[in-house]
Structure 1
Amino acid sequence: MRITVKLVSLFTILSFVACKETSKKEADKTIVEQTEELGYQIPNSWIEKRVTAANKRLNATDAGKVLWSAMEAHGGLKNWYANGFLSLRFNYQPVNGKGIRDSYQTIDTWNNKARHNSITDNNDVFGWDGKESWIKAKDSTSFAYDTKFWALTPIYFSGQPFVFDGTGVNLELLPQVEFKGAMQNVVKVTYDKGVGSAPDDYYIMYVNAKTNLVDAFKYIVSYPEYFPNGGHAPEKITVTQGTTTVDGIVFATDFKTYWSTADKDGLGEYITKIDVSDISFSSTVEENFFSKLEGAEVLK
């Protein structure tokens, strides 16, 4: 009799655990579906897990420690994700007047999705939903540039240093340099093969040794559609001109970009001015906000 009672009790406990585990899996599945399909409601536990993993990974190397210190100085990786969706106006203005790119955009910093609206006509929109690039515009003059390439490009300016927290990112600590009168800790960022649309890109961050803020960064563009036979554009250097703090995160308000040279400070010809404004965070967006709009064209 006692054995029977024990077996029944054990079966009841196992059934309860199984039901509890099933419920947990169903709850997790619901959260995943919300996150992937609707693009919102990132659980705090997911943020904690990602930040903890990044902290452990980055602080295992000297280069990673510099990057982590920069993240802390700019407001902290946890705050970056917990703030939600980032919106800003990014006005990229080559000094020769050609190829101006000015849009108001919202970025899902967790899932790397983006949606841009034209400054002159709010009905002209393009985006990246995590799988496909799409555009809905009255004609080809609405966005006279490669919107597929540009969808996530601005976040790699305004989102530094946070955009380098993920796996598949390689960090190398280079010798310190003096830049515009201040000593800089220098970290080179490269990518594993197959990561992103231009895995041969690199960035060289200048992190102020005193403030730990990103003062400048060098970079190349190796986008395969621009360079189908390999290679890349000449190296550029982008310099922070001013900063503002929004919901605890330090952003550059404007940049100046130069051709990179071997001269003092590495500043060659001044080629581009960038203004960043209307910066804000939001905890939610509309359902399917980043998805292709009805009547939009999918870009191959």
Structure 2
Amino acid sequence: MKHLFYTLSLGLLLFSCKTETKKETTTVAEEMTKSETKKVVKETKKYPENLVKIFDAHGGLDVWKSMRTLEYTEEKPDGKLVTTTDLYNRKALLDSPKHAIGFDGDKPWLLNKTDEEYKGYDPKFGYNLMFYFYAMPFILSDDGITFSEAEALTFKGVTYPGIKISYDSGVGATPEDIYILYYNAETYTMEWLGYTVNFVPGIDTKELHFRRYGDWQEVNGLLLPNTITGYGFKNDQPTTPKKPNVFTDVKLSKTAPDAAMFVKPEKAKFVD
């Protein structure tokens, strides 16, 4: 009888310890979840309500912030152009059969793989030019951005409300640029982007250019562009569509890319 009493007492003690441990573990997990939720809620408060709804319509800012690597492929005349970006520090690599452009976190560089001269966008701006368009609307969660209401865009009888985006002094290579995000008034998905251009000589820096969105693909819970279509423009209005940019093999990962891929190769040259 005495042995039975000791056995029962020990069993109850062990059961009690396990219950307390489980309770404590659950409490810690719950607190971590609450902490992350509070962090996201606090962060979204600094954005206009309509922009938060746009983030949510595209999968949520918290999901975007959890991703580390973005990769996509475009078909170019010289072959496939594969762009890889570290979303935390914006280091980038644009790799194609004849050329490669990289950004090591400090300076952009250019590598000619053949004797053919590179004739694309200035690498100083080109290393993240398409990335900026592609990462809409989530790229608008960056620091140093000011938001205000914009006049709505009406195209073929449909009206799209707008959010104007401007930049603090010293933010980016061309902080004088202006962007306007136009969205679907019912679904809050992004439909258009109007923007000024300040890095191409000979272009009116106040005229709005346009790119159309709306063809989306879901990648890891986020809506990202399948195509982005540039438009002709006149008097701050889009006119006729151009050939769309098509994005394939899109990958989003929570794993950091190999840092070595962004380091300037020996034969490459830094671009000032």
Answer yes or no: same fold by TM over 0.5. yes
Q: Residue 57 in 1 paired to residue 28 in 2? A: no
Matches within 5 A, 1:152-163: 152-163=128-139
Counterpart of 2:249 in structure 1 is: 278
Q: Residue 261 in 1 paired to residue 237 in 2? A: no
Q: Residue 84 in 1 paired to residue 84 in 2? A: no
Counterpart of 2:150 in structure 1 is: 174
1:253, 1:193 → 2: CA distance?
A: 33
Counterpart of 2:212 in structure 1 is: 239
Conservation of the 8 A alpha-carbon contact between 1:114 and 1:128 = yes
Counterpart of 2:175 in structure 1 is: 199
TM-aligned CA deviation for residue 254 of structure 1: 1.0
Counterpart of 1:112 in structure 2 is: 90
Letter in 1 for 2:85: I
5+ long unaligned stretches in structure 1: 1-43, 59-63, 94-99
TM-aligned CA deviation for residue 267 of structure 1: 2.3
Compared CA separation, residues 172 and 286, structure 1 to 2 (3 A): same
- Matched residues, number: 238
2:118, 2:42 → 1: CA distance?
A: 39
Conservation of the 8 A alpha-carbon contact between 2:67 and 2:87 = no
Conservation of the 8 A alpha-carbon contact between 1:259 and 1:267 = yes
Counterpart of 1:135 in structure 2 is: 110
The list of structure 1 runs, each at least 4 consecutive aligned residues, that deviate by more than 4 angstroms after superposition, is: 46-53
- Alignment deviations for residues 221-275 of structure 1 (CA, whole Å, 9 cap, x no partner): 102xx449x9627421111251110101101211221132349xx3224445211
TM-aligned CA deviation for residue 112 of structure 1: 1.8
Compared CA separation, residues 91 and 221, structure 1 to 2 (3 A): farther
Q: Answer with 185-194 or 289-298: which moved more.
A: 289-298
Letter in 1 for 2:113: K
TM-aligned CA deviation for residue 177 of structure 1: 4.1
1:166, 1:255 → 2: CA distance?
A: 21
Compared CA separation, residues 48 and 202, structure 1 to 2 (3 A): farther
Conservation of the 8 A alpha-carbon contact between 1:103 and 1:116 = yes
Compared CA separation, residues 140 and 201, structure 1 to 2 (3 A): farther
TM-aligned CA deviation for residue 298 of structure 1: 0.9
Counterpart of 2:269 in structure 1 is: 297
TM-aligned CA deviation for residue 290 of structure 1: 1.9
**Structure with max Cα Rg:** 2
TM-aligned CA deviation for residue 150 of structure 1: 0.9
Compared CA separation, residues 53 and 136, structure 1 to 2 (3 A): farther
Percent of aligned positions with the same letter in both sequences?
Answer: 25
Counterpart of 1:8 in structure 2 is: none
Compared CA separation, residues 52 and 143, structure 1 to 2 (3 A): farther
3-state SS of the aligned residue for 1:293? coil
Compared CA separation, residues 192 and 172, structure 1 to 2 (3 A): same
2:151, 2:234 → 1: CA distance?
A: 17
Conservation of the 8 A alpha-carbon contact between 1:92 and 1:273 = no
